[in-house]
Amino acid sequence: MTADILGVILAGGRATRMGGGDKALLTLGGRSLIDRVIERFGPQVGAMMLNANGDPARFAAYDLAVRGDEAPDRPGPLAGVLAGLDWAAERGGDSIVTVAADTPFFPRDLVVRLQDAARGAGAPIALAASPDPVKGMMRHPTFGLWPVALREDLRCALAGGVRKIAAWADAHGAATAPFAWAEGGVFGASGGGAGFDPFYNLNTPDDLARGDALLRSFEP
Mind giving me the DSSP string for 76-118? -HHHHHHHHHHHHHHTT-SEEEEEETT-TT--TTHHHHHHHHH
**91 located within any domain:** yes
- Residue 216 in domain: no
Predicted confidence at residue 203, as pLDDT, reads 84
Residue 31 lies inside a defined structural domain of this protein: yes
- Per-residue DSSP letter, 1: -
14 - beta bridge partners?
A: none
Q: Write the CATH number for 145.
A: 3.90.550.10
Q: Which domain holds residue 53?
A: 5-180
The answer to the question of residue 196 being in a domain is no
Statement: the pTM of the whole predicted model exceeds 0.85: yes
**Number of domains, the chain:** 1
pLDDT digits (tens, 9 = 90+) for 84-128: 999 999 999 999 999 999 999 999 999 999 999 999 999 999 999
For residue 189, tell me if it sits in a domain: no
Which of 51, 157, 136 has its CA nearest to residue 100? 51
- Whether 52 is in a domain gets the answer yes
User: 185-195, pLDDT tens digit by residue?
Assistant: 444 333 444 57
8 A C-beta contact, residue 43 and residue 1: yes
Following DSSP, what letter does each residue of 195-219 receive, concatenated?
SB-TT----SHHHHHHHHHHHHH--
Measured distance CA(94)–CA(147) in Å, rounded: 6
Q: Indicate the pLDDT class of residue 78, thresholds 50, 70 and 90.
A: very high
Which among 130, 80, 76 is positioned nearest to 107, based on CA atoms? Answer: 130
